[in-house]
Amino acid sequence: MSQSFVPVPAGSDFPLENLPYAVFSTDNNKVHRLCVAIGEHVLDLKAVSQLYPPQVQKSLQAETLNELMGLDFEAWDVVRTQTQKLLAQGSELDQNVDLKAVSIVPQSEIKLHLPAQIGDYTDFYSSIHHATNVGIMFRGPDNALMPNWRHLPVGYHGRASSVVVSGTPIRRPLGQTLPEGAEKPVFGACRLLDFELEMAFFIGGKGNQLGEPIRVDEAWKNVFGFTLMNDWSARDIQKWEYVPLGPFTAKNMGTTISPWVVPTAALKPFLLDNFPQDPEVLPYLRQNIPFNFDINLEVSLKPSDQNESLISKSNFKHLYWTPLQQIAHHTVTGCNLRPGDLMASGTISGETPDSYGSLLELCWKGTKTVELPGGKTRKFLQDFDEVIIRGHCEKNGLRIGFGECVGQVLPAFSVPQ
């Protein structure tokens, strides 16, 4: 591939082969615009939209990614190919000094926003290692996985209104809990606040009509791109409330995503075989194409008074159920998906303790501690702790990164009287 005229430092998450999308503004222009990242800068797509084919120009002038997501995969390829051409050395943009001056913006000068207007958000439970670990904790090794788990992608509908962009603080929630040995619940601040290492993808394409399923091997046309996610979890609130309908207030206080959406095309060099599934799934879930990726994931924890510490390293490849199976199952009833809908993986844990994607697992239901520098320890998150999730792919000298997904815990509001 050609070199970009925009400098890309060694080890950058954002080379010319990546070009993740985001929505940004600046101090001197508060209007939200689309951009792609290149090195330590962004390209303002609205400022250069006239250099793209007419059929995609309007989508590049929008204030969210929804309109671009609503085009088809062929249009996404048109935009991506033209963007790479424009950013290459000697390109039309490179030679236009005035346009280059207004369209190439340092990331240090921008504010990033939610990349899309999220209409609906669905969270799955697709990591077999995570599901097994949680099952062992609460039901024992003989009943770790529920009978349905290997037959369908388990999921639930989350709260789209509380999905926030990286950097947004998360308030410790209030709620009901049932103390150990008690017969009646009490009300107060969550004591067992946790992170969940996840990835998510945005729905794109024309979507499907109500009543019309999406076939599993056609579902790739509806995956616009991927982002990092922390789906915060109030474990003690969830334990009391989740029977019989599943998580509710324990999960609706906030879900953090990275501002960067890495297009599926950028991940093709990192394709892997799908996770082996046994027993064989029903025909509507039988996937004949690979859609699994070698994405390195890590979680760091930063107390308010010290530097961050790496506490977990996992990988997207540990997911038992693929995004295409998730889409196929989600729509098999005829549920209609819309551009900008968000689908999350669920907690991504590996096989070894250092790859677990939550404190619930790392501390094994509070029986162990995570050791931090200076003798500090954690079993669950404390006020002002900051959680930083990062992700990248790397192979043959090519690095494709996802940036960061960051959130800090704020103290709970005073308990209402």
Task: Give yes or no: residues 96 and 131 share one domain.
Answer: no
Cα(389)–Cα(255) distance, rounded to whole angstroms? 13
pLDDT for residue 64: 98
Give the pLDDT confidence of 126-161 residue by residue, as tens digits. 999 999 999 999 999 999 999 999 999 999 999 999
Kindly report, residue by residue over 316-374, the tens digit of the pLDDT.
999 999 999 999 999 999 999 999 999 999 999 999 999 999 999 999 999 999 999 99
The number of folded domains in the chain is 2
Does residue 139 have a known ligand-binding role?
yes
Instruction: Give the residue numbers spanning the domain of 49.
Output: 21-113
* All residues at 6 or more sequence positions from 411 whose CB lies less than 8 Å from its CB, including other chains: 171, 172, 189, 383, 384
Report the relative pairing of strands 197-203 and 342-344 from DSSP bridges.
antiparallel
313: its two tokens: 């390293």
Task: Inform me whether the pLDDT recorded for 295 exceeds 60.
Answer: yes
Q: Are residues 281 and 380 in the same domain?
A: yes
**Do 187 and 107 belong to one domain?**
no
Q: Which of 41, 130, 318, 329 is catalytic?
A: 130
For position 148, what pLDDT does the model report? 97
Please check if 125 is assigned to a binding site: yes
Task: Indicate which CATH number applies to the domain containing 44.
Answer: 2.30.30.230
Same domain, 160 and 90: no
* 156 plus 253 within the same structural domain: yes
Q: What does the alpha-carbon distance between residue 292 and residue 322 come to, in Å, rounded to a whole number? A: 7
| pLDDT number for residue 415 | 73
Residue 8 lies in a domain: no
What single-letter amino acid sits at 353? Answer: P
Same domain for 178 and 215, yes or no, is yes
**Final residue in a domain of this structure, among 74, 91, 113:** 113
Q: Is the dihedral of CA 219, 394, 68, 126 positive or negative?
A: positive
417 is in an annotated binding site: no
pLDDT tier for residue 2 given thresholds of 50, 70 and 90: confident
* Residue 273 counted as an annotated binding residue: no
Residue 257 lies in a domain: yes
What is residue 281's predicted lDDT score, i.e. its pLDDT? 98
- Is 32 part of the annotated catalytic residue set? no
Instruction: Please identify, among 66, 81, 113, the residue that sits at the C-terminal boundary of a domain.
Output: 113
**CATH assignment of the domain containing 130:** 3.90.850.10
Q: Tell me: do 137 and 78 sit in the same domain.
A: no
238 is in an annotated binding site: yes
Say what the pLDDT of residue 325 is: 98
| Per-residue model confidence (pLDDT) at position 210 | 97
User: What pLDDT, on a 0 to 100 scale, did the predictor assign at position 416?
Assistant: 67
Question: Is there a single domain that holds both residue 171 and residue 35?
Answer: no
User: Average pLDDT in the 252-278 region?
Assistant: 98
